[in-house]
Amino acid sequence: MKVGFIQTDPVFGRVRENVEDAVRKIEALDAELVVLPELFSTGYQFRCRAEAFKLAEEARGGYTVSRLIETARKKKLFIVAGLAERVEGKVYNSSVLVGPRKGLAGVYRKAHLFWNEKKVFSAGDTAFDVYDIGKARVGMMICFDWIFPEAARTLALKGADIICQPSNLVLPYCPQAMITRSIENRVFSITANRVGSEERIKGRALKFIGQSQIVAPDGTVIYRAGGKKAEGKSFKISIKDARKKNINPLNNVLTDRRTDLFNL
C-alpha cells in the first residue's frame, strides 16, 4: 500500500488558499492514503474562541471537507486531515477521514489539548476509533496526543495498522517519541506537520518544526522531512508488518501486558 503525507506552510485565516494548495499537492502525489497537518486549512494560533468559531466549519458539508472528498474521489484515495470543526456552539480541534466511496468516514476530536488550545477549543468527546479502509485499518490521533501513550495504545488494541497523526508540532520531542509509539504497538505511524511560524499573540511566537515522518512497526524511520520547506512524500509499505505483534517467539507487545498489575 502507498501511504504519504503533505507537509504544509499555511497562511493563517486563508482557508480557501490553504485548502487549494493542499489539494494541488495531494493531486501530485502517488498514494492510497495521505495525511495532512492539524488545522491545515486555518492555521494554528487563534487569539480566542470567537475567532476560531468564525473560521471553523462543520465536518459534514463544509468547504474544506467537501473539497477533500472531491479530491479523494478524483484520486481514489483516503485522506486524513486536521481542521477546526464547528459543532453547534462549540469548536473542536478535529481530524477527518475521507474516502472515495463513503465521503466522510470518520471524525476524531483532539482529546489532549495543548497549552492555549484549552482556551480556544472544547476537549474532544470522540473515542479513539479505528476504520477499515480496505487495505489497512487506520486510527487517528492529533499532535500532543503523542505524550499520552494510551492514545496510540488504544488504537493498536482496537486493531489499527496505521496511526495517522495530523500535527502542528512546536516542541522538539514528538518525531523521536513516535518511533517509540510505533515500536511499542508494532504499528506504522504517519505524522504530518507544518513548517513556518505564527505570532498572532504578541510575545508568543510559535515556530513549527516540520519533520513530518513515516515510521515502520520496528521503529525504522522510512522517511523524515526537513524543518523548513513544504513537501509531499509517499512510500510503499507492507501492512502485514503491523499485524505481527510478536517481537520474538515468546513476547507479544499486546497480549503480554500485565493488566492485572496495572491497578489504575
Q: Which residues are catalytic?
A: 38, 110, 143
143 binds ligand ACM (CB under 6 A): yes
Three-state DSSP class for residue 247: strand
Draw the binding track, 6-45, toward ligand ACM (x: CB under 6 A; -: no contact).
--------------------------------x-------
- The bridge status of strand 137-140 relative to strand 162-166 is parallel
Provide, rounded to whole angstroms, the least separation between the CB of residue 30 and ligand ACM.
29
CB 103 within 8 A of CB 75: no
The cell for 183 is 515500536
* Neighbour count for residue 130 (Cβ, 10 Å): 21
Three-state DSSP class for residue 39: coil
Looking at the Cβ atoms of 65 and 209, the one nearer to ligand ACM is: 209
Q: Please give the single-letter amino acid code of residue 165.
A: Q
Provide, rounded to whole angstroms, the least separation between the CB of residue 168 and ligand ACM.
4
Looking at the Cβ atoms of 136 and 151, the one nearer to ligand ACM is: 151
Place of cell 505481527: 244
Provide, rounded to whole angstroms, the least separation between the CB of residue 169 and ligand ACM.
6
Looking at the Cβ atoms of 107 and 242, the one nearer to ligand ACM is: 107
Provide, rounded to whole angstroms, the least separation between the CB of residue 50 and ligand ACM.
20
Half-sphere exposure of residue 190: CA atoms within 13 angstroms, side-chain side: 31
* Neighbour count for residue 206 (Cβ, 10 Å): 17
Binding residues with ligand ACM: total (CB under 6 A): 7
* Neighbour count for residue 52 (Cβ, 10 Å): 21
Q: Please give the single-letter amino acid code of residue 37.
A: P
131 binds ligand ACM (CB under 6 A): no
Q: Please give the single-letter amino acid code of residue 191.
A: T
**How far, in Å, CA of 106 to CA of 206, rounded?**
30
178 binds ligand ACM (CB under 6 A): no
Provide, rounded to whole angstroms, the least separation between the CB of residue 73 and ligand ACM.
30
170 binds ligand ACM (CB under 6 A): yes
The alpha carbon of 10 is separated from its chain's Cα centroid by a whole number of angstroms, namely: 16
96 binds ligand ACM (CB under 6 A): no
95 binds ligand ACM (CB under 6 A): no
Rg (CA), the chain: 17
Looking at the Cβ atoms of 147 and 254, the one nearer to ligand ACM is: 147
81 binds ligand ACM (CB under 6 A): no
51 binds ligand ACM (CB under 6 A): no
Interacting residue ranges for ligand ACM, rule: CB under 6 A:
38, 114, 143-144, 168-170
